Amino acid sequence: GQNIDQPTEMTATEGAIVQINCTYQTSGFNGLFWYQQHAGEAPTFLSYNVLDGLEEKGRFSSFLSRSKGYSYLLLKELQMKDSASYLCAVFSGGYNKLIFGAGTRLAVHP
Amino acid sequence: KAGVTQTPRYLIKTRGQQVTLSCSPISGHRSVSWYQQTPGQGLQFLFEYFSETQRNKGNFPGRFSGRQFSNSRSEMNVSTLELGDSALYLCASSLTGDSSHGYTFGSGTRLTVV
């Protein structure tokens, strides 16, 4: 079956670091995406990992371990505007579709 | 360049009616995917079109259908609406549909069935 798990909710303090974990079990794997979605808006692309290791992009980093079926999104120097849902999605290349986790709702407090 | 355009943004329909949603992808993109987003289920894949052909379909009943035109614009149709069809419907645009080119989402159409 296809299964992607991530925590439902997380809270963090402005200026801090937060790590959002994602574990997956899918029948195909051609890469893992992280998207950010503010309430009522479109998901926006944050990162894409296809090989094991860490990808860094400004305040955001994403890590992938294919052997463990595990990824995390690291957000540094948190800002209030980072309060949003973060979606982990696996690309099943053989099926040309993204399989999404339920999303992690992050609340950043002053 | 213009982003992904979905129309209408909001829609209210009655049970039993049918509805058609539209998605215009980024210029030059030939792949359009559709997703249903609900609070309980998250984003679920409906179908994907490339060059007017449906390449893949998710686990939704036959009431959900779609098509793509020669200019890559896509429509999805839901017939005999049920209350459970209330959701945000998102389309994603991609150059070819494979992961190397990424996906850009539209702002969605929020459908409410009453």
Q: What is the DSSP string of A55-79?
A: EEETTEEEEEETTTTEEEEEE-S--
Give the count of beta carbons closer than 10 Å to the beta carbon of residue B27.
10
Average pLDDT, stretch B22-30?
95
The candidate with the shortest Cα–Cα distance to A8, out of B39, B94, B86, B74, is B39
The structure tokens listed for B17 are 């009616």
B30 and A CB contact within 8 Å: no
In DSSP notation, A73-99 reads: EEE-S--GGG-EEEEEEEEEGGGTEEE
Chain A closest-CA separation from residue B82 CA (Å): 22
**Closest-approach residue (CA) in chain A for B49:** A96
B33 and A CB contact within 8 Å: yes
Average pLDDT, stretch B87-113?
89
pLDDT at A6: 96
**Which one of B31, B35, B36, B99 makes the best mutation probe of the A interface by having the most chain A beta carbons within 10 Å?**
B99
Lowest-pLDDT range, A88-97, B78-87, B103-112?
Answer: A88-97
3-state SS assignment for residue B100: helix
pLDDT at A95: 59
pLDDT at B42: 86
Residue B74: band (very low, low, confident or very high) from pLDDT cuts 50, 70, 90 = very high
Q: Which stretches in chain A have pLDDT values below 70? A: 1, 93-96
Residue B100, pLDDT > 90, answer: no
pLDDT at A17: 98
| Chain B residues touching A45 at Cβ < 8 A | 102-104
B109 and A CB contact within 8 Å: no
**What is d(CA A4, CA A103) in angstroms, rounded to the nearest whole number?**
10
| Chain B residues touching A30 at Cβ < 8 A | 98-99
| Chain B residues touching A22 at Cβ < 8 A | none
3-state SS assignment for residue B65: strand
Query: Is the CB of A97 less than 8 angstroms away from the CB of B58?
Result: yes
DSSP label of B29: -
A89 and B CB contact within 8 Å: yes
